[in-house]
Structure 1
Amino acid sequence: MKKLAVLLWFAVPVLVFGQDKDKFINDLMRKMTLEEKIGQLNLVTGGEATTGSAVSTDVEKKIRSGQVGGIFSLSGPAKVRRAQELAMQSRLKIPLLFGMDVIHGYRTVFPVPLGLAASWDMNLIERSAAIAAEEATADGIAWTFSPMVDICRDPRWGRIAESSGEDPYLGAKIGAAMVRGYQGDGSFKENSTMMACVKHFALYGASEGGRDYNTTDMSRIRMYNEYLPPYKAAIDAGAGSVMASFNEIDGIPATANRWLLTDLLRKEWGFKGLTVSDYTGVNEMIAHGLGDLQAVSAKAIRAGTDMDMVGEGYLNTLGKSVKEGKVTVAEIDAACRRVLAAKYDLGLFKDPFKYCSEERAASRIYTEKTRAFAREAAAKSFVLLKNKNRVLPLKPNQKVAVIGPLVNNKENMGGTWAVSEDRNNSVTLLEGLRNGPAKAEIFTARGANIYSDPQMDANAALFGKTTGRDSRSDREMLDEAVAVARKADVIVAALGESAEMTGEASSRTQINIPDNQVELLKALVATGKPVVLVLFTGRPLTLTWENDNVDALLNIWFAGSEAGNAVADVLYGKVNPSGKLPVTFPRNEGQIPLYYAMKNTGRPHSGNPGFEKFRSNYLDAPNTPLYPFGYGLSYTTFRYSAPVTDRAVITAKEPVTVTVNVSNTGDYDGEEIVQLYIRDVEGSVTRPVKELKDFKKVFIRKGETVKVSFTLDVSDLSYYYSDLKLQAEKGIYEIMTGPDSAETEMVKLELR
């Protein structure tokens, strides 16, 4: 019966594929009942990875009856083929669309997105998405719910780990690179590319208090200048779909916000693709206070949300709403058409089993080549925050004590939202160091649990992961660690967060390393041995004591499948660290939100040390961060010249070239990320003190000087005014270059 169903399907469409897409979809929709159209809007879960308490039921029955348009969290060619065969048993044999949260790799896991952003390497980021697409499509997946391009300036929000950080320019570049990686040229001719989904539209990263799913409220001018650019860039890059965010905008949840999903996204930006709610996002508008399930479902479809993820409000209420005149058939038709168009573009009507190749699944997933790239990507994401007295790189003949709860913890190498990883394949820090120089003598001890409190430790171990909790007392573990440390020449402390201390529903009010781990670190420092802190984290942490007291600090984020090998590569100098922070690290939580592109007040602090009365500052801490946006050290040193321009005036017809000389004055070859910022000195509306406008990653050999050039045109000086018109204002601009947002030199430029 299964084979017959497949043969019958292939007998139907062969004659229609000489026709264009519109005619094909028009012909198909004329055959569809209202119930079948609504069925195409129903996205259910296969149950492999969920982000809510709701789970889809009676899925097979609904597929056969044409009540399912797509499935997510179901993978493997055999499983996908089986589900697709069920769709071929429905009346019109419309294929299913299969999606998955492929966030930072599939089976081969790359650094969490915030870590990848720290590479500032668009080719590397695009390649990571392309590899993820090749692996996922080999396992039956045609649609990924990525990239997440939310701007985040509050590190208490756990989902900052999934973001590209705080900056709209960097975020826009990364969002576009991810789309290109997933979708290739956008034709989907090959079965190794997949449809991207830009999320979360919009402003999700600005939730109040850093609390997940919380309210967002901001002015339109701030939206356009600071938060919307990454979404727009990803859509301009050709993203096939967009996911609505959980938060409200102007008092209306995004899932039912017509201004957002129709006026802005479709009419202003020209988006033609598919929109989808987040997990039960339609149903959750009931708790927002927008009505019962029928009411919120009607509001969502009218606003422009095409597919309903998991909640089945569309499936169970839209028919009734049509009869009662609360929703029109035309509104359902528009949504259904976009779902069908996505399937057509992916080639599923031509071949429903396009992504069901056992051979590809066996040969294209988690290969030696993809692992090598994961190792390279991880090493390039690491940010060296401190290196006192050149403790790093380690010497091959040193005795090394490797201590901490994350030393040998496979389950916590990949980080959050690595739903398809095989955790047994992850290379731990201990394994990586043992794979390193043969002469290295390595001792190890756990030293502490992630949290001392068992309940907090359990909270940090979701999605089936554990923290590897040790049943011994804090004192027993600490004493053992100190004894081990005393045998070594240098101590490597692997501390920080577990994988699920960041990510969805993992907000924190205190973003420090847990206290029991800090007590361990203090005991290690007290031995008098050099201490290298290898920091696991998916967010900026408050590290004031750590910065003041450890000898070296290497932020490795969560580095993925090859984490341990990549860390060893950097610790032993095989790779010179080159990452730069894509987000500001505050001194304490009281400074939050803290980001480099802030605006001056009418009473700005002078910048001199100390508190200033009647100025915008704190009594108990400076305004400055612990580590600024764009910051990152190298094993070598770089010296920058002052920037120069090839002309003092820029016009609409004459761009300006900005040049800076960068010299490698240290003992190692290295890569440097040269950054360019601007400031509009006098504007019609207030402007940030600095805005990133370009950057270049350059390789410089020791003793060498390279000339780095940037081209600025009027579009780089443009911003949205209060009337939301994009234009550049005549006057003086400051052009700044340097190694990070805090350490820059400036030249002035006039726009006429």
Structure 2
Amino acid sequence: MNKLCLLGVVVGLALQTAYADSPSQGPQNKDAFVADLLARMTLDEKIGQLRLIAIGGEMTHQRIEAEIAAGRIGGTFNSVTRADNRPMQDAAQRSRLKIPMFFAYDVIHGHRTQFPISLGLAASWDMDAIALSARTSTAEAAADGIDMTFGPMVDISRDPRWGRISEGFGEDTHLVSKIARVMVENIQGPSPANPDRMMASAKHFALYGAIEGGRDYNTVDMSPQRMFQDYLPPYRATVDAGAGGMMVALNSINGVPATSNTWLMQDVLRKQWGFKGVTISDHGAIHELIKHGVASDDREGAKLAIKAGIDMSMNDQAYGEHLPGLLKSGQISQADIDNAVREVLGAKYDMGLFANPYLRIGKAQDDPADVNAESRLHRAEARDVARRTLVLLKNQKQTLPLKKDARIALIGPLADAPDDMLGSWSAAGVATQSVTLLNGLRNAVADPAKVTYAKGANLTDDRATLDFIAHFNPEHVKQAIDPRSGQALIDEALAAARDADVIVAAVGEWRGMTHESASRVALDLPRTQQALITALRATGKPLVMVLMNGRPLTIGEQQRQADAVLETWYSGTEGGNAIADVLFGDYNPSGKLPVTFPRSVGQVPLYYSHLSIGRPFTPGHPGNYSSQYFDSEQGPLYPFGYGLSYTDFSLSDVSLSSKRLSRDGKVTASINVRNVGKVAGETVVQLYLRDVAASMARPVKELKHFRKVMLKPGESQTLTFDIVEGDLKFYNQQLVRAAEAGQFTVMIGLDSQDVKEATFELL
């Protein structure tokens, strides 16, 4: 390296150091630094910054370090310790310009400590709990040398057949958007340059949750109005919250893959929303443009992606192999490359890595002796959050809470399943550190011997499911399958039940059944578990069904057989203790469903905010010539927003401050909520709006506000919600977001179905 070049690097690093402690001084500081560095980079170094490489892929660690030292890799993902990351950062500091690496990972609902899966977090309807989970997970990941998370995942999904519904926050635009903002704010904190914070790279932009048929990686065909009204707002919320990154979806949108979609990446993301961060392709997505049928080869795929605005290529060779030739031939411009590199360098600046490449890696002497040490976990926080996410779906004859001196038969294939407690995308979580339901129940009672356990059934005997899970995790299937006959397992369960006062049945899905690429054509419990529930019901003993799953299930028959049903999702490292807290009444459940539970898969998609239609089904009226399935009971098994408590709440009628709303004014909706039960409890009061007559069909209701409130027995509180013009706006036929004059219905309830109503007029 010549002296002049070395001096430039030193000056540049000094500039970054000077600005690192005061990022609020203005974008010109960052821009000047990045522009200076960019001007001194060779073409090969620039293209190297656009490569995001998987650890554990085709390249050895030695090859990766050599490529980094040569300036040919910009970041890696899937290395999760300081000791793993330090040699790669050392290699970057041996490169000509010493441009630091960043290290990314999928920290979705926990890092070492696992919180409930994202769908479970959404069931809390509790922004403080969600913020706590994000801050804690981020601090743990940063302490392991991770600079960026591929999250939050904010895809709206209304099709539970899709396995990745478990990874998102449900079906509702307002709720998911609010959670999206909270997640980004608590992942990045005041600045992603803080050593205990990371950069958030939201995903999957865009519309991934709307894939056709719930079949992963499938197409999306959608009107612009529905896009902008229902599906795009959560991504916009992450941008408004300052997310530094955006991961691009694998699906096509109206025939154009997101990875080559200039309208999506430039017109919407950059120009309309003002996104200033780095965009990252999903895994291998540029190569997959060939399979989408829009590129003839990787060369054309690279051209389409870079011109669309894909900054970094994740685990894909197309940029490295083809961008130089494309530039030489004039098929892309130098500006196309420079624009992408500028965003990558800017992201590294924002992460604080130019000021200190070892900001999160630290010194070797400070590395933990045991990365999986118990002292590195945050069990109290995990238990606290997990309790708030559990949803009581049924409680006939006050079967719950259980008495701690009762004899309990705990039965089911998920009763003692430490791996499954962690859920999908469990990052660096260790199964042996998770608390199973069996552990949790025995921890909660004075005499653990009063909790007897029997497996009762294998989770499934379906060969296709077994083969699918075994392909990804053969050891899990091997350990989870009991070689005894189904009848022998049930007989053992019945023997345990005979001596019990109450039966607790832990049933649901393996976590691998509700994950990426894990789409299902049926939503039933596997038949082995259906047979188990039927056999347990026949004992006549009180039956509590504890669900562990990552999607809504069609459990109509089983919920009729059970006396109580508790939805626990996959509740994380402290899941067993948290579930026991609720089962024994040490914590009063307050969760509400963030997604509709259908009666059958044939109803899918089924969601509460569907558009008004000309011939709606009306309960109590003949079904002929109305929108219905004639061979099924209509409506959901459990509606969006539903969830019971160990106490009861009553609501007054809705009171409005005015029957008219001016454009610059507000109408205040008031309702009194009273705890009419015998114990203290929390509930979520939800406000929905309906535009009665508009220029185009509008949803029958839309969530606009909600409030979680704790009340003692006999206590009441009057809640107020301010409704303004912005709450009434929608994207019309011209894609203009506006509110139209006319009548609106206000609906307030404890779920989306059972509501109190009032009306007002927008002038």
| Same fold, TM-score > 0.5, yes or no | yes
Partner of 2:211: 207
Q: Are 2:270 and 1:254 aligned?
A: no
Q: CA deviation at 1:686?
A: 0.6
Alpha-carbon distance in 1 for matches of 2:760, 2:196? 47
Q: Are 2:184 and 1:172 aligned?
A: no
Partner of 2:26: none
Alpha-carbon distance in 1 for matches of 2:507, 2:426? 20
Q: Work out which of the residue numbers 694, 697, 701 in structure 2 matches 1:690.
A: 701
Partner of 1:404: 412
The one-letter amino acid of 2:207's match is L
Name the count of aligned residue pairs: 741
The alpha-carbon distance between structure 1 residues 600 and 11, as it changes in their structure 2 partners (threshold 3 A), is closer
Q: Work out which of the residue numbers 641, 650, 658 in structure 2 matches 1:639.
A: 650
The one-letter amino acid of 2:399's match is V
The one-letter amino acid of 1:426's match is S
Alpha-carbon distance in 1 for matches of 2:420, 2:91? 37
What TM-score results when the alignment is normalised by the length of structure 1? 0.96
Q: Are 2:587 and 1:575 aligned?
A: yes
Q: CA deviation at 1:683?
A: 0.2
> SS where residue 466 of structure 1 aligns?
helix
Q: Work out which of the residue numbers 195, 198, 204 in structure 2 matches 1:194.
A: 198
Q: Work out which of the residue numbers 714, 728, 734 in structure 2 matches 1:703.
A: 714
- The 5 Å alignment of 1:158-307 reads 158-185=163-190, 187-290=191-294, 291-307=296-312
The one-letter amino acid of 1:416's match is S
> SS where residue 198 of structure 1 aligns?
strand
Q: Work out which of the residue numbers 726, 744, 757 in structure 2 matches 1:746.
A: 757
The one-letter amino acid of 1:442's match is V
Alpha-carbon distance in 1 for matches of 2:109, 2:380? 15
Deviations 1:495-527 (A, max 9, x none): 000111101010000011100111011101111
Q: Are 2:551 and 1:542 aligned?
A: no
Q: Are 2:660 and 1:649 aligned?
A: yes
Q: CA deviation at 1:284?
A: 1.0
The alpha-carbon distance between structure 1 residues 464 and 189, as it changes in their structure 2 partners (threshold 3 A), is farther
Q: CA deviation at 1:463?
A: 4.9
- The 5 Å alignment of 1:336-351 reads 336-351=341-356
Q: Work out which of the residue numbers 592, 609, 621 in structure 2 matches 1:597.
A: 609
Partner of 1:153: 158
Partner of 2:462: 453
Partner of 1:429: 437
* Mean CA deviation greater in 349-358 or 206-215: 349-358
The one-letter amino acid of 1:720's match is Y
Alpha-carbon distance in 2 for matches of 1:683, 1:54? 58
Alpha-carbon distance in 2 for matches of 1:723, 1:623? 35
Task: Name stretches of at least 5 consecutive residues in structure 2 with no aligned partner.
Answer: 1-5, 20-28
Partner of 2:118: 113
Contact 2:12 2:36 in 1 (8 A): no
Identity between Structure 1 and Structure 2 (%) = 47
Q: CA deviation at 1:79?
A: 1.3
Q: CA deviation at 1:250?
A: 2.0
Alpha-carbon distance in 1 for matches of 2:149, 2:475? 23
Q: CA deviation at 1:474?
A: 1.1
Q: CA deviation at 1:362?
A: 6.7
Partner of 2:525: 513
- The 5 Å alignment of 1:355-504 reads 355-357=360-362, 359=366, 367=375, 370-439=378-447, 441-460=450-469, 462-463=472-473, 466-467=476-477, 468-504=480-516
Q: CA deviation at 1:188?
A: 2.9
Q: CA deviation at 1:465?
A: 6.2
The one-letter amino acid of 1:450's match is L
What TM-score results when the alignment is normalised by the length of structure 2? 0.94
> SS where residue 199 of structure 2 aligns?
coil
Partner of 2:545: 533
Alpha-carbon distance in 2 for matches of 1:173, 1:366? 33
> SS where residue 68 of structure 1 aligns?
coil
Contact 1:56 1:310 in 2 (8 A): no
Partner of 1:3: none
Alpha-carbon distance in 2 for matches of 1:11, 1:288? 46
The alpha-carbon distance between structure 1 residues 742 and 319, as it changes in their structure 2 partners (threshold 3 A), is same
Partner of 1:38: 47
The one-letter amino acid of 2:218's match is N
Partner of 1:29: 38
Contact 1:9 1:88 in 2 (8 A): no
Q: CA deviation at 1:7?
A: 14
Contact 1:108 1:366 in 2 (8 A): no
The alpha-carbon distance between structure 1 residues 301 and 554, as it changes in their structure 2 partners (threshold 3 A), is same
C-alpha RMSD of the superposition: 2.0
The alpha-carbon distance between structure 1 residues 54 and 728, as it changes in their structure 2 partners (threshold 3 A), is farther
Q: Are 2:628 and 1:617 aligned?
A: yes
> SS where residue 505 of structure 2 aligns?
strand
Contact 1:425 1:561 in 2 (8 A): yes
> SS where residue 318 of structure 1 aligns?
helix
Contact 2:112 2:377 in 1 (8 A): no
Alpha-carbon distance in 2 for matches of 1:109, 1:385? 24
Q: Are 2:98 and 1:98 aligned?
A: no
The one-letter amino acid of 1:735's match is V
The alpha-carbon distance between structure 1 residues 8 and 397, as it changes in their structure 2 partners (threshold 3 A), is farther
Contact 2:613 2:697 in 1 (8 A): no
Alpha-carbon distance in 2 for matches of 1:85, 1:539? 43
The alpha-carbon distance between structure 1 residues 591 and 710, as it changes in their structure 2 partners (threshold 3 A), is same
Partner of 1:585: 597
Q: CA deviation at 1:613?
A: 1.2
Partner of 1:325: 330
* Mean CA deviation greater in 64-73 or 358-367: 358-367
Q: CA deviation at 1:367?
A: 4.4
Deviations 1:45-91 (A, max 9, x none): 112xx8xx999993222111111000010121111111100111111
Contact 1:44 1:56 in 2 (8 A): no
> SS where residue 220 of structure 2 aligns?
coil
> SS where residue 718 of structure 2 aligns?
strand
> SS where residue 476 of structure 2 aligns?
coil
Q: Are 2:714 and 1:726 aligned?
A: no
Q: Work out which of the residue numbers 121, 126, 140 in structure 2 matches 1:135.
A: 140
> SS where residue 58 of structure 1 aligns?
helix
Alpha-carbon distance in 2 for matches of 1:86, 1:463? 34
Alpha-carbon distance in 2 for matches of 1:612, 1:250? 35
Alpha-carbon distance in 1 for matches of 2:466, 2:490? 17
Partner of 2:3: none
Alpha-carbon distance in 2 for matches of 1:297, 1:362? 43
> SS where residue 438 of structure 1 aligns?
coil
Q: CA deviation at 1:360?
A: 7.3
Alpha-carbon distance in 2 for matches of 1:152, 1:240? 24
Q: CA deviation at 1:607?
A: 2.3
Partner of 1:670: 681
The alpha-carbon distance between structure 1 residues 538 and 210, as it changes in their structure 2 partners (threshold 3 A), is same
The alpha-carbon distance between structure 1 residues 460 and 131, as it changes in their structure 2 partners (threshold 3 A), is same
Alpha-carbon distance in 1 for matches of 2:423, 2:114? 9
Q: CA deviation at 1:460?
A: 3.3
The alpha-carbon distance between structure 1 residues 8 and 699, as it changes in their structure 2 partners (threshold 3 A), is same
Partner of 2:23: none
The alpha-carbon distance between structure 1 residues 305 and 719, as it changes in their structure 2 partners (threshold 3 A), is same
Task: Name stretches of at least 5 consecutive residues in structure 1 with no aligned partner.
Answer: 1-5
Partner of 1:313: 318
Contact 1:107 1:366 in 2 (8 A): no
> SS where residue 619 of structure 2 aligns?
coil
The one-letter amino acid of 1:466's match is H
Alpha-carbon distance in 1 for matches of 2:328, 2:570? 52
Alpha-carbon distance in 2 for matches of 1:396, 1:675? 34
The alpha-carbon distance between structure 1 residues 704 and 13, as it changes in their structure 2 partners (threshold 3 A), is same
Alpha-carbon distance in 1 for matches of 2:242, 2:60? 31
Alpha-carbon distance in 2 for matches of 1:460, 1:409? 15
- The 5 Å alignment of 1:48-87 reads 58-87=63-92
The one-letter amino acid of 1:423's match is A
The one-letter amino acid of 2:426's match is A
